[in-house]
């Protein structure tokens, strides 16, 4: 009898924890699906909210904080397009706060340093002529660190290529100079296998888009 009680309790506990970790993965999957489908602001906001809830509940996982930061940068970008500069700043600050949490949990994770580079890149958007000189070197430093930690991380190359793509030619940027990084990212994306289906696995579409823009742009002499 004693044995069977122990057995029942242990089954119960394991079912419960299994349900819990299942719930984590299921919720993350739901968030990622929502994020991937989201095009307009409100939908991205909904995806962000899911990741933010998981981030607040799961203090030991870096992925929810990572995705929260990524979604907030997307919200910042959409605010920028609407000319809402004050919101842009606020979203970037939120993204940085989320990433700081993730970096505390996994300071040596390449994806997080690539994301840090992306956040620094986003700081340039509101006033490139003034802010580029300060944040561009910081972004490059973060991308370099991401690559040093994992030379197979396609997002580190993709995001750096994208930064160079939009950096004016007189500062050594432009599509032609971005080609090397974008090609490298393309190569890595082709063979990339995500550690799980909730680990970062985005960027290939945008990378292909920027690569496709290189040839005609360079010919036009822009």
Partner 1 sequence: MKAIYLIFIFQLTSSILFAQTMVSGVVKDGKETIIGANVFLKDTYDGASTDIDGRFSFETTEQGTQVLSISYIGYELFELEIDLNQAQDALVIELKPEANELDAVVITAGAFEASDEKKAVVLNSIDIVTTAGATGDTYGALNTLPGTQKVGESGQLFVRGGAASETRTFIDGMLVHKPYNSTVPDLPARGRFSPFLFKGTMFSTGGYSAEYGQAMSSALILNTQDLPEEDMTSISLMSVGLGLARTKRWDKTSLSVSGGYTNLAPYTSLVKQNMDWIKPFQGADAQVIFRHKTSETGMFKFYTSGSSNWFAMNRLNDVDLKEMNRLDLNNNNLYVNTSFREILNDKWSLFTGLAFTYDKNSITEQFNLQSYERSGQAKITLSNQVNDHLKIKFGGEHFFSNWDEQFTDTNEEVFHTNITENLSSAFLESDIYLSNRLVARLGGRLEYSQVLRSWNVAPRTSLAYKTGAKSQISLAYGQFFQTPEGENFRYSTQFDFERADHFMANYQVMKDQRIFRVEAYQKNYKSLVRYQRNTPWIIENSGDGYARGLDVFFRDRKSLKKGDYWISYSYLDTERFYKDYPEASTPNFASKHNLSLVYKHWFHKASTSVGVTYAFSSPRPFHNPNESAFNTGRTKPFHDLSINASKLMNIKGNFTILHVSVTNVFGIENSFGNRYATTPDANGKYASQTIEPGAKRFFFVGLFVSIGEKFDKETAEKPD
Rule CB under 8 A: which residues touch partner 1? 4, 8, 11-12, 16, 23, 27, 41-42, 45-46, 48-49, 52-54, 56-57, 75, 83-87, 89-91, 93-94, 126-127, 129-130, 133-134, 137, 140-141, 143-145, 147-148, 168-173, 177, 180-181, 222
Both tokens assigned to 219:
């010919």
Give 53 or 213: the residue with its C-beta nearer to partner 1: 53
Give 187 or 205: the residue with its C-beta nearer to partner 1: 187
Q: Which residue has the tokens 């990084």?
A: 181
Give 140 or 208: the residue with its C-beta nearer to partner 1: 140
Half-sphere exposure of 190 (CA within 13 A, CB side): 7
Give 19 or 205: the residue with its C-beta nearer to partner 1: 19
Dihedral pair phi/psi, residue 179, rounded to 5°: -55, -45
Angle at 98 between CA 63 and CA 136, to 5 degrees: 105
How far from 142 is each of 111, 126, 193, CA to CA, in Å? Answer: 10, 20, 23
Q: Which residue has the tokens 């799961």?
A: 58
Tell me how far apart the alpha carbons of residues 199 and 191 are, in angstroms, rounded to a whole number: 15
Tell me how far apart the alpha carbons of residues 134 and 216 are, in angstroms, rounded to a whole number: 30
Nearest distance in Å: CB 99, partner 1 = 16
Tell me how far apart the alpha carbons of residues 133 and 141 are, in angstroms, rounded to a whole number: 13
Both tokens assigned to 13:
């506990």
Give 83 or 193: the residue with its C-beta nearer to partner 1: 83
Give 59 or 205: the residue with its C-beta nearer to partner 1: 59
Nearest distance in Å: CB 171, partner 1 = 6
Nearest distance in Å: CB 88, partner 1 = 9
Other residues' Cβ atoms within 10 Å of the Cβ of residue 151: 12
């Amino acid at each position: 009898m004693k044995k069977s009680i122990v057995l029942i309790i242990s089954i119960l506990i394991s079912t419960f924890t299994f349900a819990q970790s299942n719930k984590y993965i299921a919720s993350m999957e739901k968030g990622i699906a929502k994020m991937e489908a989201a095009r307009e602001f409100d939908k991205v906001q909904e995806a962000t909210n899911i990741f933010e809830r998981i981030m607040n509940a799961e203090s030991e996982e870096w992925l929810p904080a990572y995705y929260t930061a990524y979604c907030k940068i997307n919200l910042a970008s959409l605010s920028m397009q609407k000319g809402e500069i004050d919101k842009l700043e606020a979203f970037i600050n939120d993204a940085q706060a989320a990433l700081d949490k993730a970096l505390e949990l996994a300071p040596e994770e390449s994806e997080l340093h690539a994301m840090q580079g992306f956040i620094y890149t986003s700081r340039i958007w509101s006033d490139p002529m003034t802010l580029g000189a300060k944040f561009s070197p910081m972004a490059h430093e973060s991308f370099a660190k991401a690559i040093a930690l994992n030379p197979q991380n396609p997002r580190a190359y993709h995001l750096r290529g994208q930064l160079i793509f939009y950096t004016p030619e007189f500062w050594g940027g432009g599509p032609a100079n971005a080609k090397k990084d974008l090609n490298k990212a393309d190569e890595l994306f082709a063979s990339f296998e995500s550690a799980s289906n909730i680990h970062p696995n985005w960027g290939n579409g945008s990378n292909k888009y920027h690569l496709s823009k290189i040839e005609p742009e360079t010919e036009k002499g822009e």
